[in-house]
Amino acid sequence: MSSLDRVKAGEFLSATLDMDSVFVGGEWQLQSGVSFQLRSRGVLIIEPNVISRSTKSIIVSAGVHGDETGPIELLQQLSGEILKGLFEPAHRLLFIIAHPEATLAHTRFIAENMNRLFAHRNEPNNIDRKIANTLQQEVDHFYQGSDIADVQDGVSRWHLDLHSAIRDSAHYTFAVSPCSAYPTRSNALFAFLEQAEVEAVLLSRADSPTFSWYSASKYGAQALTMELGRVAKLGENDLERLSAFDCALRVLLQQEEQPYSWQGSKLIVYKVTRTITKLSDDFNFNFPASQANFTFFEQGCLLGQDQDKQYFSLEGGEAVVFPNPHVALGQRACLLVQQAAVTAEGQIKVV
């Protein structure tokens, strides 16, 4: 059975991971009118039977870090149902299993962190850079292939980039809203997070070359990097703990309009106060490298040092997210955050 036939049969994941088979793309349609285009390995466009002004263009990506497999399993379950005609979406969809080589190698990446490669087209001198370039092209094609909305109307464009955390966390699920010059923090997006029972969201204030940032900054998409649970091997993820997210995602994809609004009662909102960048090989934290995400440090605590520069917790204290002293020079070593009060008049903004 060819890779195309396997995808048609609902085996999007296994066809993507079968690197021994020659990739064969193609287009086809179900009797319901739902159409498909397998554009490249791990890249599948799905079009609903009817497209209207209320139709969204939604990207759901997983596996940008290859060993973060829980979201990959969720994407396989959902794509399988759509491919078999058991679930009919109301919106244009782009499903991406991003880095099959890294998934097969049980590692985050092969040569360098692919989720730092979306600032621009990269010199294609390793597999991570080649894939990042391809994914940028696929996003361009997908969003430009619809005249539903222009870049100013970001509520019609969404991108949920799904990950799993590599460390313990005070929040089992959380999201990062990338910085963008466009209105990419809509009430609808935060209502989705609340329905998905995502515990917290971080509002970034600076550009960061991540996959979700690419969609938010270039296309004004309602984009999030979503951390869903902990890293585990394929087949060993506790998807039951992600059932609320799975349910909310299905509602988003199947309903023309969301049947709920943001209540602002459950979701904890953090503002990013600082991004600490590794400047030298002498960089280190004053706490274990395995420190849990959202560990809080009182004002004045020494957080780390980089040669003669020291980092202390600011007034009000700060919590640390994504601490990693082993990143390459010039890359983010951690985020520092504080809880924030927000207003919700159309867009979510820090008070």
Phi, psi of 313 (to 5 degrees): -65, 135
| Alpha-carbon torsion (33, 37, 38, 44), positive or negative | negative
Q: Tell me the residue type at 221.
A: A
CA 201 to chain CA centroid, nearest Å:
12
Say which of 138, 194, 199, 227 is annotated catalytic: 227
112 classed as catalytic = no
The response to whether 65 counts as a known ligand-binding position is yes
Contact 137, 122 (CB under 8 A): no
The response to whether 91 counts as a known ligand-binding position is no
**213/234 Cα distance (integer angstroms):** 27
**β-strand partners of 285:** 304
- 188: alpha, beta or left, given left = phi > 0 and alpha = psi -120 to 50? alpha
Q: Which of 268, 284, 287 is nearest to 276 (CA)?
A: 284
Phi, psi of 262 (to 5 degrees): -75, 130
Residue with tokens 């999030």: 224
Which segments are annotated as binding site for Zn(2+)? 65, 68, 163
Binding residues: 65, 68, 163
Q: Which residues are catalytic?
A: 227
